[in-house]
Structure 1
Amino acid sequence: MTNNFQEIVTFIWDLADLLRGPYKRNEYQKVILPFTVLKRFDSVLEHSKRDVLEAYNKYKDTIENLDPILRGVAKDKDGNELGFYNYSKYDFKSLIQDPEHIEENLIHYLDSFSPNVRDIFDNFHIKDHITRLSKANLLFLLVKKFSESKVDLHPDNVSNHEMGTIFEELIRRFSEQSNEEAGEHFTPRDVVKLMTRLLFIENGVHLKEEGLIKKIYDPACGTGGMLTSCKNFINEINDSVDVVLYGQEINEEIYAICKADMLIKGENAENIKGPSSTLSDDQLPDEHFDFMISNPPYGRKWEQDKEAVTKEAERGFEGRFGAGLPSIKDGQLLFLQHMLSKMKTDERSRIAVITNGSPLFSGDAGSGESNIRRWIIENDYLEAIIGLPDQLFYNTGIKTYIWVLTNEKPPERVGKIQLVDATSKYVKMRKSLGNKRHKIRDQDIEEILDLYCKFEENELSKVLDNEDFGYTKVTVERPLQVNLEVTEKRLENLYTVTSFKNLAKSKSKDLEVKLQEEEEGRKKQQEIIEALRTIEGHYKNWDNFEARVKKALRRFKLSSALIKNIIPALSEHDETADYVTDSKGNLKPDPRLRDTENVPLKEDIDEYFQWEVLTYYSDAWMDRKKDKIGYEINFTKYFYKYEPPRPLEEIEKDIKKTTAEILELIKEDLDEI
């Protein structure tokens, strides 16, 4: 990295001070980022600027579509086509030579870019800011500052990799300043490096052939750092591989930066789609990929995507969300399904994706989350999960997990899932960056990869069968045994019975009628209660009490359903009471005693029930019609270490010490008074 890298970042960052007043702090990046991109394009185009102008002036009056010609002329110093151009006579140096017309000249300069670059600046809404800056008499000053040597972004001095780092550093700083979530846009490089190595865990075994074409995709690509990392890794192994990058990004400004970065690096920037949500607007519907890598947003609602996602889910596995839909509160498992739907059907694909802990265990058996996990695991897509240290990301300190998935496991991993506890593999940073206080060193990455590759059981690695994560949720019933009695306390329970409460409700839209019907309903409720008060005695037989209630309420001509709902409100569990049976003599279950048991898939349900339930409740039974299969990945359970409580003597000693210190402080305060 160039020695002046930090100087450039600091200088550009300090330019934001020029905007103070006309712009709020959270708006600074809307100006500084697009101008930084514009300056980079200006510097990259410098080498062939004269050739492009000559070609434009030569053909502008005779050829309608100049785009192919100008693309062919715009080249770097090595003769490689840049893939974009600008046919304006202006550049940053010449713009400041005419301060009186800088606004119109700068607009002309922007309009003279190739369409792919104009799309980038349209998403920055840069013209709106040019007008705003001009009105505030700041436009000339800002362009002049960006023209200084301290912002030399020429490719001879700042490599593409360094330029990407400059973008990321500026985004991070602006996001922290405006309290936005920087981590939504890019992932720390240490985490990206680990994910990349895990994605290509075979260290190039499948990448050493000649003439390979590999497609890599990130559905939440941010500034494109993950995509670039993957390409660099592959080309270090075999520079003959044609690596094609694809991505989609929802944020306009970040999409613009990513597309600009790809364009400058010579990538096909048209493969970067957006700005739109991948979940509801997949802009690469027919593409499938060799490798996928992503850090999608976690803990974010997908409510804005609901209509499109639900419609897609109705297509079943012909669409992207056939396994089910998670809670509206979190779309991480939607991204997982989306990526799995992008795997190749006749070739090997691999995925590395980061989530928080929620997708591992949220949702009960039969829920959308559990069904998605079930589909992933039963199809043997999940190869491993690596638990990372906390405080790795700029915008959150929570623990995160890397999922590694594939449609073609190595033979030894078939039917297996490896869990790796890498929560201790980090060092503290000397200076925190937002919430990032921990860093994964190269040494830590090698140790994590070693645990992964050895595929052995030890303190930090667990190898489990797919079935180990599944269970059957069995409904356990116990017989209904209640005593029944009309008391004032039990009568109050009637107002919790929906059908009884509805007696005093009206659906009429006419206010007068509504009030009258509600009053009549309340009167009827009271009359029912008075009728029930005539029932005396303490009953332990349901049928006897039911007959007495029906007789007392006969004149009201209530539905049998309402009467059946009234009786439980007047009951109380009593193991000395008679069992309640249905018309066929079968025991009725007590809903209040209903429970469930999660029986591991590897265990016999009848044997489990015998030992875990009947041992304690001999009259219980299972309602197997309600069985549900669930899957969860309780990561912590497999690495739990028992820590004995501290000795009481030690705790007592600490309490006495703390108490003495508090008393001493109080004494000092009293002495001062």
Structure 2
Amino acid sequence: MDHSVHNKLISFIWNIADDCLRDVYVRGKYRDVILPMVVLRRLDTLLEPTKEAVLEEVKFQKEEMQATELDDEPLKAASGYVFYNTSKWTLKSLFNTATNNQQILLANFEEYLLGFSDNVKEIIECFNLKSQIRHMASKQVLLDVVEKFVSPYINLTHETVEDPDGNKMPALTNLGMGYVFEELIRKFNEENNEEAGEHFTPREVIELMTHLVFDPVKDQLPLTMTVYDPACGSGGMLTESQNFIEEKYPNDSRDVYLYGKEINDETYAICKSDMMIKGNNPENIKVGSTLSTDEFAASRFDFMLSNPPYGKSWASEQKHIKDGSDVIDPRFKVSLKDYWGNLEVVDATPRSSDGQLLFLMEMVNKMKDPSVSPLGSRIASVHNGSSLFTGDAGGGESNIRRFIIENDMLDAIVQLPNNLFYNTGITTYIWVLNNNKPEARKGKVQLIDASLLYRKLRKNLGNKNCEFAPEHITEITDTYLACMDVERALDANNDPIGIASKVFSNDDFGYYKVTIERPDRRRAKFTQDAIAPLRFDKQLSEVMEHVYAEHGERVYEKTGYGSDQKKSFLKSIEKDILSWCEDNDISLNAKAKAKLLDVKHWLALKALLETAQTLMADIGSNEFDDFNSFKTQVDKSLKAHAIKLSAPEKNAILNAVSWYDETAKKVVKKVVKLTGDKLDDLLERYECEVADLPDFGYYPVPREEGGKKGEFITYETNSDLRDTESVPLKQSIYQYFLDEVKPHVDEAWINLDTVKIGYEISFNKYFYRHKPLRSLEEVATDIINLEQKAEGLIAQILGVNVAEVQGEA
């Protein structure tokens, strides 16, 4: 659609809202009337030419066939579409026969709506149109609105017509109607200070996507084709795909079937009306959340194109996909091998704040198996930058990227210019997937940077200030089809221009995330100050300290309070405690509150403090630089006093009286015996020699310390010193450790049991070109030239003579 015509049509429809609905609706509610009336008028114009034929068919079925229920198929045949209206009314006849009595108009209008086929009634229901026309009738504006929509100066038909002044009004195509619809939504949302939830895909972007999807297989296109969009919006992606196939690769024997799902009732209604107008099966368009319910679970599709919502939370749908941490929807689980080669089923769900990759996985799930369908399936999907790199190794986003790349489905990614979309200015990318790559592309991924290919619009459309020209689309498509590296050109100022392309191996994007451990070195010393906090729960220390400071030993009294003298002291002052917490902005959940008021919990902590005091009396207040020796003395003292502590209780005491010190001795975890098969298995697992085992956390016990052959020490790790390294898949983890870690931290070791595999794609890293700074001489020359140009200007402005001021005259 021509943008000037597009803007003129938008302006006319917008003025309908201003002229007729002011004072009847608040501005934010204009859309509730305008959007359904646009769709209704469009359907109405299509049915006008065949109105008499439909009424004749109704008469025939009722009088000749004595039918109690009308047969749909003959009525569809009579209307020429997959929908019809059996009432005597059209919007024009409603207006022409209307009087000033709004109630009569309302009755006729409702009769007109009831005459539609069920598929249109569903659209009317989605728009909640009946309640809107009743409201307009009660406010005496229904006739005015109908008059505006049947005006000969507005063309919502798919035919070119003339207005009363003889000016041609271009046809409104299905995609054009999508533009109108989305632009109206944008304007309404701006009026209401809202953000549009979806970003409508510009026509030229859809055209590029169709080229990327269909051109590589133009000679293999099947005669029966299915196209699917899981976030179909107003249907522009689907109908444009169909138009592309019919125009570029015509074949009278070819059938194209369109499928889609849309969560928004309004956009679903317009999409379904487009399907009906085009002659497609509207039943293939479903309403509802694609993520919550899998409407097409049994279906597989040849081609899929989509622009799913990005940066949009899917938290409300999480209950349909996950049960706690377990994924229950098979679409969002994948099988991947861990570092050791063991196959495992892993989570393929992204962060709950951004669900765009879930739509990509939905499409991957709907791909045809190449063993069943020789062509396989092809996907083009628009995403923002977060899909390329967010998520750590082993996380949902990374697992999705890994699954797609390791299964050789990712064909190419095209970076688009900024401000190409109507409602967002962020950088966007087209992902092209293919599960049956040609031999030349197998094991490869092509990255294309087309961010500098655009032409500016004369007038912005929302955020959109540029567009692709036809030659840009051709250049991107040709670059993709060639699958070769293309160096970006530079202009006279050494600035990059044009397109760039690079071809990578699949594993270029993968990396190992490995944990590097360092031993814990601790000093220890018993002091009263160190053990005093043991009286209180760490998580409740502030409030417990306050209560103890206020009431002392009374907090341990189990009974003697309340009307029956059976309440504990803590229970008796519950209101005071909670009031203090509220005053000090301390929030307590039910579990924390129960612990705080539980005398048994207080007594257990008191007993722990008393145990620490007993240990202090035995061991004294000497400082130990060998934590291993200190622990041995603690164990001896506990045994001597027959005190049994749980592991958490013992650790609480040890942690309270010890601290990290790099000059202290390493803390031993245990001594292990590694001989025979056990040693051989470990060496095979780590692919190393015995002398290399310290690099994996196994240190031979020194002979002078009584060490025997095959005995190895393992040390406790210090979580504060723990670090992670990202190692490229093509590189050995051990060699990376020797080159990049060991020279700097000699006592570090690799923890291979923590290795996770991740994938990320960084366009900036691959396409960034450094532009050297200008030399000092160049900068100085420019400054001197500017000074010379400016000389005399100030004097001229002030009206003085430079020579006179300087005393030279």
Whole-angstrom CA distance in 1 between matches of 2:665 and 2:177: 80
More deviation, 480-489/429-438: 480-489
Question: What is the match of residue 565 of structure 1?
Answer: 652
1:283 equivalent in structure 2: 295
Counterpart of 2:119? 116
Q: Does 1:512 align with 2:512?
A: no
Q: Given the alignment of the two structures, is residue 616 of structure 1 paired with residue 744 of structure 2, yes or no? A: yes
Q: What's the offset of the Cα at 1:525?
A: 6.8
Q: TM-score, normalised by structure 2?
A: 0.73
Percentage of pairs with the same residue: 44
Q: Distance in 2 between matches of 1:444 and 1:15?
A: 38
- Distance, in Å, in 2 between the alignment partners of 1:631 and 1:457 is 22
**Residue deviations 1:401-444, cap 9 Å, x none?**
11100111121110111111112122333322222223222222
- Describe the superposition over 1:146-187 as per-residue Cα deviations: whole angstroms up to 9, x where unpaired: 222123434433243444443344333334333444461621
Matched, 1:34 2:36: yes
1:489 shift after superposition: 7.8
Residue equivalent to 1:332: 356
1:471 aligns with 2:499: no
Partner of 2:23: 21
Verify the 8 A CA contact 2:94 2:105 in the aligned structure 1.
yes
Over 3 Å counting, the alpha-carbon distance change for 1:604 and 1:37 in structure 2 is same
Counting only pairs closer than 5 Å after superposition, residues 194-213 of structure 1 correspond to structure 2 as 194-202=208-216, 204-207=218-221, 212-213=223-224
CA distance in 1, matches of 2:304, 2:646: 60
SS of corresponding position for 2:116: coil
Residue in structure 1 matching 2:279, options 266, 291, 304: 266
- Residue type matched to 2:28 in 1? N
Residue 524 (structure 2) pairs with residue 484 (structure 1): yes
Post-superposition CA distance 1:99-120 (Å, at most 9, x none): 3201111011000001111111
Deviates more, 1:629-638 or 1:552-561: 552-561
**What residue in structure 2 maps to residue 640 of structure 1?**
768
Going from structure 1 to structure 2, the CA distance change for 1:494 and 1:517 (only over 3 Å counts) comes to closer
CA contact (8 A) 1:312 1:319 kept: no
Once the two structures are superposed, what CA deviation does each residue of 1:535-564 show, in whole Å capped at 9, x if it has no partner?
423211012323455677869754343222
For residues 522 and 646 of structure 1, the distance between their equivalents in structure 2, rounded to whole angstroms, comes to: 69
SS at match of 1:625: strand
Q: Give the distance between the partners of 1:89 and 1:27, measured in 2 at CA.
A: 31
Report the residue type matching 1:229 in the other structure: E
The answer to whether the aligner puts 1:437 opposite 2:451 as a matched pair is no
Q: Highest CA radius of gyration, 1 or 2?
A: 2
Partners of 2:82 and 2:749 lie apart in 1 by: 72
* Residues 46 and 592 of structure 1, relative CA distance in 2, 3 Å threshold: same
Unaligned runs of 5+ in 1: 76-80, 658-673
Change (3 A) 1:544 1:203: closer
2:799 is aligned to none
Structure 1 CA distance, aligned partners of 2:118 and 2:540? 69
Deviation larger for 545-554 or 579-588? 545-554
Q: Indicate yes or no: 2:230 matched with 1:219.
A: yes
Secondary structure of 2:720's counterpart equals helix
Paired residues of 2:302 and 2:378 also in contact (CA < 8 A): yes
Q: After superposition, what is the alpha-carbon deviation per residue over 1:42-79, rounded to whole angstroms, capped at 9, x for unaligned?
A: 1111111111112212322511332335434434xxxx
Instruction: Give the letter aligned to residue 266 of structure 2.
Output: E
2:432 corresponds to 1:404: yes
- Relative to structure 1, the CA distance from residue 72 to residue 422 in structure 2 (aligned partners, 3 Å threshold; closer, same or farther) is closer
Within 5 Å, which residues of 2 pair with 1:10-409?
Answer: 10-17=11-18, 18-60=20-62, 62-75=66-79, 81-96=80-95, 97-99=97-99, 100=101, 101-157=104-160, 158-161=171-174, 162-182=176-196, 184=198, 186-202=200-216, 204-207=218-221, 212-240=223-251, 241-274=254-287, 276-310=288-322, 319=331, 321-322=333-334, 324-345=348-369, 346-347=372-373, 348-409=376-437
Do the aligned partners of 1:479 and 1:619 also contact (CA within 8 Å) in 2? yes
Q: What whole-Å deviation, never above 9, does each CA across 1:281-317 have from its counterpart, x for those lacking one?
A: 2222222111100010111111121122226997889
Query: What are the within-5 Å matches in structure 2 for residues 546-585 of structure 1?
Result: 546-549=631-634, 558-584=645-671, 585=713
Q: CA deviation at 1:4?
A: 6.1
Tell me the alpha carbon deviations over residues 19-40 of structure 1, each in whole angstroms, 9 at most, x when there is no partner. 1222122211110111111111
Question: Distance between the aligned counterparts of 2:73 and 2:377, measured in 1?
Answer: 38
* SS of structure 2 residue aligned to 1:592: coil
**Aligned partners of 1:238 and 1:244: how far apart in 2?**
16
Bigger drift between 473-482 and 66-75 goes to 66-75
Query: CA separation in 1, counterparts of 2:756 and 2:77?
Result: 65
| Separation (CA, whole Å) in 2 of partners of 1:569 and 1:436 | 60
Give distance in 2, aligned partners of 1:83 and 1:573. 77
| Residues 386, 420 of structure 1: 8 Å contact kept | yes
Q: What residue number does 1:667 align with?
A: none
What's the secondary structure of 2:669's corresponding residue? coil
- Does the CA-based 8 Å contact 2:411-2:444 persist in structure 1? yes
Distance in structure 1 (CA, Å) of the matches to 2:717 and 2:601 = 35
Measure the CA separation in 1 of the matches of 2:225 and 2:57: 36
Report the AA paired with residue 86 of structure 2. Answer: Y
The change in CA–CA distance for 1:447 and 1:519 in structure 2 (over 3 A counts) is same
Q: Relative to 1, partners in 2 of residues 1:497 and 1:13: Cα closer, same or farther, differing over 3 Å?
A: same
Distance in structure 2 (CA, Å) of the matches to 1:634 and 1:431? 33
Residues 1:544 and 1:341: Cα distance change in structure 2 (over 3 Å): same
Letter in structure 2 aligned against 1:108: E
Farther-moved stretch of structure 1 (485-494 vs 418-427)? 485-494
Partner Cα distance (2:601, 2:325) in 1:
44
Amino acid at match of 1:439: E
Question: Deviation of residue 200 (structure 1)?
Answer: 1.8
C-alpha deviations, 1:304-358, integer Å up to 9, x for none?
2112222699788954544622221211121111101111122221000011111
Q: In 2 relative to 1, CA 552–136 (structure 1 residues): closer, same or farther, beyond 3 Å?
A: farther
Contact 2:514–2:756 at 8 Å: present in 1 too? yes
Distance 1:333 1:5 in 2: 33
Distance 2:329 2:320 in 1: 15
Letter of the 1:43 partner, please give it: T
Question: Which position in structure 1 is the counterpart of 2:625?
Answer: 540
Say if 1:74 and 1:83, in contact at 8 Å, map to a contact too: no
Give the SS at the match of 2:730.
coil
**Following the alignment from structure 1 to structure 2, what is the Cα–Cα distance between the partners of residues 59 and 376?**
56
Secondary structure (helix, strand or coil) at the match of 2:292 reads: coil
Q: CA deviation at 1:454?
A: 2.2
What are the ranges of 5 or more consecutive residues in structure 2 without an aligned counterpart?
161-170, 335-345, 488-499, 546-554, 559-566, 573-596, 672-712, 787-809
CA deviation after TM superposition for structure 1 residue 386, in Å: 1.2
Farther-moved stretch of structure 1 (441-450 vs 327-336):
441-450
Distance in 1 (alpha carbons) for counterparts of 2:24 and 2:420: 36
Tell me, yes or no, if the aligned pair for 1:296 and 1:355 is still in contact at 8 Å. Answer: yes
User: d(CA) in 2 for partners of 1:89 and 1:48?
Assistant: 12
The alpha-carbon deviation at position 586 of structure 1 amounts to: 2.5
Aligned residues: 645
CA distance in 2, matches of 1:620, 1:8: 69
CA distance in 2, matches of 1:496, 1:590: 25
Q: Distance in 1 between matches of 2:8 and 2:331?
A: 49
- Residue 427 of structure 2 aligns with an amino acid whose one-letter code is K
Q: Closer, same or farther in 2 for the Cα pair 1:647/1:167, shift >3 Å?
A: same
Distance 1:106 1:417, change over 3 A: same
Q: Which residue of 2 aligns with 1:663?
A: none
Moved more, 429-438 or 608-617: 429-438
CA shift for structure 1 position 496: 10
